[in-house]
Every structure is written in structure tokens, then in C-alpha cells.
Amino acid sequence: MAELLVGTKKGLFRLEGDAGNGGFEVTARAFAGQSVEYAMRDPRSGRYLASVTSWFYGPKIWVTDDPAGEWQQAEGIALPEGEEQALERIWVIVPGEADGVLYAGGAPGPLFESRDGGVTWELNRPLWEHPTRSDWSPGAGGLCLHTIAPWPGDPQKLLVAISAVGVWLSDDGGETWRHSNTGIVPEYVPEDARDNPIQHCVHDVRRAPGRPERLFMQFHGGVYRSDDAGATWIDVGEGLPSDFGFPVVVDPADPDSAYVIPLIGAEDRTTPGGTVQVWETRDAGTSWTARGEGLPARDAYLTVLRESFDSHGEGEGLELYFGATSGEVFGSADAGESWTQVADHLPPVYSVRTA
Amino acid sequence: MAQVTLRAPLSELCGGRSHEIEGATVSDVLAALEHAHPSIAGWVLDEQGRIREHVNVFVNGTHGVAETQVGPDDRVQVLPAITGG
């Protein structure tokens, strides 16, 4: 039995079922009518956390032990008073490595940290007050800190990514930060303007837990891999039908295995040729194979957003799930070999996370 | 004191629809409301003290802004904006 938390334009949906047999059903709904950008379940505590942006009353994080029950508003999700900007939204919530620690990233580029399981939060000042901040530029989705990748077993090491700024690394638990975009080519700026080290529209980064120095990145134009903990990046997108896309997923059992969902470039952002396919590499990006059995093969122009692709388990039993802004959620129980539609007619899907 | 009227979910967070709040301007009244009911901190005013874009405030039936003067017997209504088509 799998549990999916699906954040949508019209609330949070919990789906439960079996990807091998289809048959998922909605077992909880919360925040009806509000945008739920992201929801996850902390595997350590079992607690659910959701990022919700009310059209009227602004962004909040909510926590609960029962997604069908009462939710408690978390404290501290705000930018410092006395500044020009207000918090726009929270994009992502990720468990840290230390007990009770979680991180949340949002727009316009803040990183928050909680040390009590998500009930109270504090802004990471060193990144917020980084001397380069005045040079940070937003992508189409805003100036969003959307990726947080802790290092398994070492709470001092952290990678975050911000669009359209790039990758940031810390080796001291977030006390200091350095940008790390060497090797990434921002082809969307003129060739003679590519020296700027912080203009990189990173879309998503996932770390291979079994080899933490190995990372895969879906960039605005290109898929990249790092074998040195994000210090340098190499283009591994050759063979994909498009260099554009949003999410990337890795197989925890195999640091050479990753999955992306290419979309026709920035001007369109739909599945190429009306065919929905997940592309898989088993050799660290040297080659890519389309996995589409059971997915819509014609007249299907889907958009899959950054946080809408996730996995559960590993190896041959790796389960994969992704959702589309057209309201479908698809799942695979065999590492992408075959797929079934596990939900239809949901509101536009903003995020999918396995619990 | 001004009579402040709220709708859900603000009324639920503040323990009722009607509240007597003191303040010389809309901004003052909303800040005082937030001070009296910390549970709505960040809901009507953002962290910079600005009225959220899609929240409307009416003073005696007239649309107000942060600087609108509020008298001791005035009625202040806080409600979500009608947005969309």
C-alpha cells in the first residue's frame, strides 16, 4: 500500500493504493480551495507538513499527525520585519539529518530551518544576507529556493538550489555558503555574458543517497551530473528528446540510475509530440531510455512541475509517481517499466510526494 | 473604539466576528487587532505591516487603505477581496 501526498491548486489530497494494481483512492483532503504547493510526511516522526498559500492570507506551513484531522499553523514562516519584501510562498520542505531538523525553501529565495519537527522555524540568515543577494534574479516561477539536499549522515553538509541563481553549498550547517555552478552552461544568456557565476536556472537536483557526492540536475537547458558533491557539473543530457524539464528522481539503490520527464522547451513546457514518457538512465547519463508503457501515447500535452515526481523503495521494486497540471497522477511499481494512471480529474497538480 | 467585523477564517482565529479595537487609522486598527489576537499575525498584514493584496478593508462601508482615518464609533470590515472574473 502506497501513500501519496498530492499538492494541488485546490487543496491537498492523500491517495492510498497499490501502483501494481491501480486502484488508488482519495483518503483525505485538506485546505480545500487553497494552493498547496508541497506536502510531505517526515519519516522520522510520522508528522505531515504542508505548504499552503492562501490567495487572501498569504503563505503558511501547517503540521498534523492526521491529514484528515486538524492542522496546526507553524510559527516563524516570515521574512524579517523592516525589509521591503514579504514571503511569497514555500516551495519545498525536507527533513534534515539532525534529530528534529527540517528545512524549507521558498520565494523570494529564503531558507528556513526548524529544530522541533516543523512547529517553529527560523530564517537562515547567512544565505538570506549573502553579499551577492542583490544580484539574484528570478526565473519564471519567481526567485525560488526549491531544492534542499542534505548529505546522508552529515548534518553539516547541505546543498540548496535557487532559480535563477544556481547551486549553493554549505559545509558548516548553513553558517556559510558558496555558489557552485562550474560547468553549467546557461545558454539563455549571450555567450559573452556567461561568466556571471550566479545566473543559473536550476530546476531540480537530487542526491544519490548511496554515493552522496553523486548528484543529478535538471537544468533550464540540459541535464547535468556531479561526481564531486556539486563542485563541478557535466552535461549528460545527450540522447534526451528535450533538454528542458523540471523534476529529476534517483534510484536510492543505484547511483547510476536517474529519471527525468523532458518537456518541450521554455516556450511550451508540454510533453514532446503529445507523448508522455519518463526517461531513464542506468549508466549515470551516458545513455537514456524512454519508459512509456501504460502512459498516454498520443494527443497528451502534459506539464509536470518541479515537485511533482517522486519515488518510493529502490531497485527493481522502485515505485515512481508523477502528477500533471491537467490533474492526472501516474504510477509505476516496477522502476518505470510499466505505468498506470492512479488518479484523474484532480485539480492542477503542484507536487507529489510519497509518504 | 472602532467596531471591527471579521469573516471566517479570521473570525474563527480571533474567537468571534465582532471586536472593539482602538486605532487612529486602518493600519493602526489592524495592528492592534493582530496584537490582541496573535493567531492572525501574518494573515491580514504581511510581515512588513502592509495589508495583503487580496484583503479588503471597508470603513463605514467605504473602501479604505492603510492610511484611512478611523474614528471611535466607526465600523471597520475586513474581508477577502472579490477576485477573478
- CATH number for the domain spanning A102: value is 2.130.10.10
CATH number at residue B73: 3.10.20.30
- Which residue of chain A has the CA closest to B46? A86
- Whether B54 sits inside 8 A of A80 (CB atoms) is no
| pLDDT lower than 70: segments of chain A | 22
B56 touches chain A (CB under 8 A): no
Q: How many CA atoms are closer than 13 Å to the CA of A263, on its beta-carbon side?
A: 23
Report if residue B85 sits inside a domain. Answer: no
For residues A233 and A181, the answer to whether their CB atoms sit within 8 Å is yes
- Whether A56 sits inside 8 A of B54 (CB atoms) is yes
For residues A202 and A147, the answer to whether their CB atoms sit within 8 Å is yes
Q: What is the DSSP code string of A95-107?
A: E-SSTT-EEEEEE
- Whether A83 sits inside 8 A of B42 (CB atoms) is no
Residue from A34, A52, A56, A62 to probe the interface with B (highest B Cβ count within 10 Å): A56
Chain B hits for A77, Cβ within 8 Å: 42
B49 touches chain A (CB under 8 A): yes
pLDDT at position A241: 96
Which of B39, B42, B55 has its CB closest to that of A56?
B55
Residue pairs between chains A and B whose CB atoms are closer than 8 Å: 41
For residues A349 and A291, the answer to whether their CB atoms sit within 8 Å is no
B12 touches chain A (CB under 8 A): no
- Which residue of chain B has the CA closest to A84? B48
pLDDT at position A141: 85
- Whether B42 sits inside 8 A of A58 (CB atoms) is yes
pLDDT at position A22: 66
- Whether B49 sits inside 8 A of A58 (CB atoms) is no
Residue pLDDT, tens place only, A279-290: 999 999 999 999
Domain that holds residue B51: 2-80
pLDDT at position A86: 97
- Which backbone phi and psi does A128 adopt, to 5 degrees? -60, -35
Please name every residue paired with B78 in a beta bridge, in sequence order, or none if there are none.
B6, B57
- Whether B47 sits inside 8 A of A78 (CB atoms) is yes
How large is the ipTM?
A: 0.91
Domain that holds residue A232: 2-354
- Which residue of chain A has the CA closest to B49? A81
Element (H, E) at A18: strand A11-18
For residues A172 and A122, the answer to whether their CB atoms sit within 8 Å is no
- Whether B54 sits inside 8 A of A55 (CB atoms) is yes
Which of B44, B50, B83 has its CB closest to that of A55?
B83
Eight-class DSSP state of A142:
B
For residues B78 and B59, the answer to whether their CB atoms sit within 8 Å is no
pLDDT at position A95: 98
pTM listed for this prediction: 0.96
Cα separations (Å) of A290 from A19, A261, A320? 19, 9, 14
pLDDT at position B62: 97
pLDDT at position A275: 97
Report if residue B72 sits inside a domain. Answer: yes
User: Is residue B83 pLDDT above 70, yes or no?
Assistant: no
Report if residue B32 sits inside a domain. Answer: yes
- Which backbone phi and psi does A187 adopt, to 5 degrees? -70, -10
pLDDT at position B84: 60
Number of domains composing chain B: 1
Give CA–CA dist A10/A12, Å, rounded: 7
Give CA–CA dist A332/A318, Å, rounded: 8
Residue pLDDT, tens place only, B25-68: 999 999 999 999 999 999 999 999 999 999 999 999 999 999 99
pLDDT at position A265: 84
- Grid coordinates representing A70? 486538524
pLDDT at position B64: 97
Please name every residue paired with A166 in a beta bridge, in sequence order, or none if there are none.
A162
Number of domains composing chain A: 1
Element (H, E) at A20: none
Which one has a higher pLDDT value, A32 or B82? A32
pLDDT at position A88: 97
Single-letter amino acid, residue B74? D
User: Å from B53 to nearest chain A CA?
Assistant: 7
- Whether A56 sits inside 8 A of B47 (CB atoms) is no
For residues A13 and A29, the answer to whether their CB atoms sit within 8 Å is yes
